[in-house]
Amino acid sequence: MTITAFTERLKTLDVGQIAFDILDRHKDELVDVQKSQLWAGRDLKGETLTPKILDDPYFKGNSRWARWWADRKQEQTQRDDNPAFGIRPYGVANLIFSTGRIVWNPIRVFPLGTNDLRIGTEFSIQKELEQKYGDLFGLNPQCVDFVIRTFFREEFLAAVRKHLFES
C-alpha cells in the first residue's frame, strides 16, 4: 500500500461510528454493567449513593425501621462479582426495588441521535430516582474502564486495523 492510499483510508476512518457500532452490538452487556453499578449503590460519578438508608428522609426519623431496612438490603447479596465494584457498603441503597417499583426490568440502551447511545429506564422511574440520588444512569468511570477492558478495546482496534489495512 502506498502512503497516498494509506492517507486516503485514514481520512475515511470514522472512529465515532466504529465505537457506536461496537457498543450497539453489546447493548445487553451494557445493561448488565449498568445494573451492577446500581446494585453496588454507585452513581454516575462512581460515588456511593446518598442519602444512605439511615439518613433517608423517607424514614422520617424512624431509626429502628431504617436500621431494619438497611439490614434487609445488606442481606441481599451483590448481584454479581463485577470487579468494577467492591462490596456495597452497609446502609447504601442498591436500587433493585425503589419507590415501590422494580427498577431493573425497563433498563435499556437506546439510540440518541446518529452516533450516541444512552442507558436509562422508564422516564417516571428515572426522574424520581435522580431527584433523590442525582445522576445514576449511564456508566461511571469504573464501568467504562470495565467495558473497555472486557470487550471494547479489542474490537475497536480490530475494526481500525481492518479499515486501514484490509479494506
Q: For 108-161, how does the pLDDT look when each residue is reduced to its tens digit (9 = 90+)?
A: 898 877 778 889 888 888 888 899 899 989 999 999 999 999 999 999 999 999
Grouping H, G, I as helix, E, B as strand and the rest as coil, residue 105 is coil
pTM value is 0.83
Residue 65 in grid coordinates? 425501621
Place of cell 442507558: 119
Q: What is the reported pLDDT for 116?
A: 80
Distance between CA atoms of residues 34 and 143, nearest Å? 8
Place of cell 426495588: 97
Question: How would you class 53 by CB atoms within 10 Å of its CB: exposed for 0-12, middle for 13-18, buried for 19 or more?
Answer: buried
